[in-house]
Amino acid sequence: MSHAPRDTDALRQALAENRDEPEGPARNAGAELLVQQAETTGDAPLLVDTLLSPWGGKCRS
């Protein structure tokens, strides 16, 4: 997973990659980083997706 996705498409790709990681501390740290990055985009659906990501959530198709 990239540590600094620059746009929403890159964040969504990083989110998908993080979901594929085995459960554990590394995946959790990646998810937390993605939430922080999503907060800076102003894209509310993306932020919701990152918040729900540990459960495979997706708020829009």
* pLDDT tens for each residue of 30-57: 999 999 999 999 999 999 999 987 654 4
Is residue 29 within 8 Å of 14, Cβ to Cβ? no
What is residue 15's predicted lDDT score, i.e. its pLDDT? 92
Domain for residue 43, yes or no?
A: yes
pLDDT tens for residues 13-24? 999 999 899 999
**Residue 21: inside a domain, yes or no?**
yes
> What pLDDT, on a 0 to 100 scale, did the predictor assign at position 53?
74
Question: What is the pLDDT, as a whole number, of residue 2?
Answer: 45
Residue 29: inside a domain: yes
**Domain of residue 17, residue span:** 8-55
What DSSP string describes 19-56?
A: HTSPSSHHHHHHHHHHHHHHHTTT-HHHHHHHHHGGGT
CA dihedral 4, 60, 53, 44 (to 10 degrees): 60
Give pTM, 2 decimals.
0.76
Is the residue at 32 inside a domain?
A: yes
Number of structural domains in the chain: 1
Question: pLDDT at residue 5 above 90?
Answer: no
Residue 1 falls inside a structural domain = no
Identify whether 48 is part of a domain.
yes
Does 51 reside within a domain?
yes
